[in-house]
Amino acid sequence: MSEPIKVTDQNFQSEVLESPVPVLIDFWAPWCAPCRIVAPAVESIAQEFSGVLKVGKLNTDENQMTAMEYRIMGIPTLGIFVNGQMVDQIVGAVPKQHIVEKLKYYLQGAAVKN
């Protein structure tokens, strides 16, 4: 059973930027109602894509440096990272299927060129 990992300013480099697999980061905050709406989808994706995708959650209230660095202006924002770069993002509470469709594009490597 794979759950989203807790990502912080301190471990962002090792957990996300240096990850050998693509990473989905949920930029969220405890007070954010839309964040609570999208959370079950993020947790489900972590289980379904275990082994091919790393899923993490970054609390923007506690980790403002990383949120500012990636210009996270609204939450929830789901950032998709491939080879240490944020290649896409989804802003707002969206259906799980929308997230999965975007992820499949990057997991197939269609947009990733080294």
pLDDT in tens, 6-51: 999 999 999 999 999 999 999 999 999 999 999 999 999 999 999 8
**Which domain, by its residues, includes 33?**
5-107
Asked whether residue 71 is domain-assigned, the answer is yes
Residue 112 lies in a domain: no
**Structural domain tally of the chain?**
1
Band (108; pLDDT cuts 50, 70, 90): confident
31 within a domain of the structure (yes/no): yes
Tokens at residue 76, please? 């929830």
Residue 109's pLDDT is 60
Angle at CA of residue 28, ends 26 and 31, nearest 5°: 155
| Residue 76 counted as domain residue | yes
Q: Of 100, 94, 97, 101, whose CA–CA distance to 37 is shortest?
A: 94
What is the domain-level CATH number for residue 16?
A: 3.40.30.10
- CA-based nearest residue to 57, from 73, 36, 71: 36
Residue 41 domain flag = yes
The answer to whether 31 touches 47, Cβ cutoff 8 Å, is no
Dist. CA 43–CA 55, nearest whole Å: 8
State the catalytic residues: 32, 35
Tokens 């990383």 correspond to 66
Residue 112 has pLDDT above 80, yes or no: no
Tell me, yes or no, whether 61 lies in a domain.
yes
**Contact (Cβ atoms closer than 8 angstroms) between residue 67 and residue 27:** yes
- End-to-end Cα separation, the chain, in angstroms: 31
pTM to 2 decimal places:
0.92
